Amino acid sequence: MTQQQNPVKESTATKQKPLPVPEKHSKTSKIGILALLLNFTTIASLGVAGYYGLQTYKSLESSYQNKFSQLNQSLTKANQDLVITQSKLEAVFSLQLQIDQLSKDHNLTAQRVNKLAQQNPDGWKLAEADYIIRMAGHKLWLERDLDSTFELLKIADKTIKDTKNPALLPIRKAIATDIANVQAIEIIDLAGQALILDNIIAQVEELKFISIENRAELITQADAKSSNDVNDWKANLAASWQAIKADFISIRRTDEDVPALLSPKQEWYLKENIRQHLQKAQLALYRAENERFKSNIEQASQLIRTYFDADNHLTNKIIVNLESQLQLNLEPELPTRLESNVLLQTMLNKQPKLTGE
C-alpha cells in the first residue's frame, strides 16, 4: 500500500515544477531600467542647468547693482556740479553788476576830472608834488633817511618844473631851500661805524693786561694829581681811594714768575663785559640813541684804560677808535618843517574840489 502511494507523490511533485519565465518578461525589465536611467539623467541635467542658471542670475544681479550704484554716484556728482555751476553763475552775474556800476562811476569821474582839468591844468601836478614832498617828510623825520629825502625833493622840483608855469616859481624856491637844509645835515655812515665796532670787538681778545709795576705807577700818579681845590672833590676822593688801596699793596722784586692781577676767569669776565658794552653801543647806533651809544662806548673805553697796557699798540689803536666814536652825533638837528610843503598846502587849498553833480 505504501509502495503504491509513492508513485502518486512523485507524479504530483513532477506536476508541481515551476514553469520557466518567458523571454518577453525579461525584455520588459530591461526597458524599465533604461527608462529609470534616462529619468535620472534628465533630472541630473535639469539640476545642473538650474545651478548654472542660478549662478548666472546672481552674477547678473551683482552687475546690475554695481551699475546702479555707479549711476547713482554719477547722478550725485552731476547734481553737485550743477549746484557749483549755479553758484558760479550767480557770482558772475553779481560781478557783472558791479562792473557795470564801476563803469558808470568811472565815466562820471572822468567827466568831473576833465571839467576840473579845464579849470586848472596844473592842479594835478601840484597834488603830485605835494604827495612827493609829504613822502620826503616821512623819510626825514620818521626814518631819518637823508638820501631818500634828498632824492624825493629833487623829484618834486622836477614835477613843478614840468608845468612850465612861472606862477609856481615860489614853490621851486621853497623846495631849493629844503634841499639845502637837508644837505647841511651831517650824514653818518651807520654801517661803516658798526663795522668799526665789530673790528674792535674781535680785537678785545688780543688785548694785553697791565703789569703790576704799571699798576702801582698809575696809583702814584693818581695820588699826585690831587689838588686843594674844593671843586675837585670828586677827583681828590678818587685819588685818595687809590692811595688807600696802594697802602695795602707791597711791591717786591723777585726772580720768580709774577702772578697776574686777575685770575683767568676774571680776565674772561672782564673781556666779555667790554664786548657787551660794544654790542650795546652797536644796537644804540642803529636806533640813533645818542646817549646810550656814548655811555656804552665810554664804559668800554674806561675798562680798557684801567686794566690793559696803555703802551701796547693795539690798546692805543682801540682807544683812538673809541674816542672817534664818541665824536659822532646820532641825533642831528633836523628841520622842524619843509617850507615847500607849507606853501603847496596853501595853494592846494585854493584849488576847486571834485564835487558830485
Give DSSP secondary structure letters for 313-344: HHHHHHHHHHHHHHT--SSPPPPSS-HHHHHH
- Using CA atoms, how far apart are residues 322 and 92, in angstroms rounded to an integer? 68
- Using CA atoms, how far apart are residues 332 and 182, in angstroms rounded to an integer? 11
Q: Which residues contact 314 (CB under 8 A, 6 or more apart)?
A: 203, 206, 207, 208
Q: Which residues contact 130 (CB under 8 A, 6 or more apart)?
A: 341, 344, 345, 348
Closest CA to 327 of 153, 169, 188, 167: 188
The per-residue pLDDT for 138 is 92
The per-residue pLDDT for 62 is 80
Q: List the beta bridge partners of residue 209.
A: 308
The per-residue pLDDT for 1 is 43
**Single-letter code of the amino acid located at 336:** T
CA count, 13 A, side-chain hemisphere, 339: 14
**Single-letter code of the amino acid located at 97:** L
The per-residue pLDDT for 48 is 82
Instruction: Spell out, as residue ranges, where the chain has pLDDT lower than 50.
Output: 1-15, 19, 21, 219, 222-223, 247-248, 250, 252, 254, 256-259, 354-357
The angle that helices 212-224 and 233-247 make with each other, rounded to 10 degrees, is 140
The per-residue pLDDT for 150 is 93
| DSSP state at residue 260 | P
- Using CA atoms, how far apart are residues 82 and 257, in angstroms rounded to an integer? 96
In this structure, which long-range contacts are made by residues 136-142, counting pairs with CB atoms below 8 Å and at least 24 apart in sequence? 136/178, 136/338, 137/338, 137/341, 140/182, 140/334, 140/335, 140/338, 141/334
The per-residue pLDDT for 42 is 85
Closest CA to 332 of 137, 134, 146, 147: 146
CA dihedral of 155, 157, 161, 165, whole degrees rounded to 10: 140
The per-residue pLDDT for 355 is 47
CA distances in angstroms from 134 to 53, 241, 337, listed in the order given: 93, 58, 10
| Predicted structure pTM score | 0.45
Specify the residue for cell string 574840489.
353
CA count, 13 A, side-chain hemisphere, 24: 0
At 155, give phi and psi (nearest 5°).
Answer: -65, -40
**Single-letter code of the amino acid located at 71:** L
